[in-house]
Amino acid sequence: MTKPSNGGTITLRGEHITLAHAIKVVGLASTGGQAKLLVRAGRITVNGALTMQPGRKLRIGDRFGRAGGAEWTIIS
């Protein structure tokens, strides 16, 4: 796992990871509830676009992060 301010990669263990779970994994939120609030508040981007769906499935090659901040890429 990388520090929240640095960005980096997440290694995917299955077919996908939900956006909210990925946010928790990288430390942008400490709970699932906090992760969902960040997404619904429009503070998270996926592949460069704002998203409001905390349950969105991220797959290999997808990028996510705080709007205007560091990004993480999903790798295999």
Measured between alpha carbons, how far is residue 66 from residues 4, 5, 15, 44 in Å?
9, 10, 23, 5
- Whether the CB-CB separation of 54 and 33 falls below 8 Å is answered with no
* Structural domains of the chain, with CATH: 8-75 (3.10.290.10)
Query: What is the token pair recorded at 67?
Result: 């709007």
Contacts of 37 (CB under 8 A, 6+ apart): 29
pTM metric for this prediction = 0.90
Q: Note the pLDDT of residue 21.
A: 97
Report pLDDT for 4. 55
pLDDT in tens for each of the 76 residues of the chain? 444 557 899 999 999 999 999 999 999 999 999 999 999 999 999 999 999 999 999 999 999 999 999 999 999 9
The tens digit of pLDDT for each residue in 36-46 reads 999 999 999 99
Distances (CA, A) of 5 to 16, 57, 69, 76: 23, 23, 8, 22
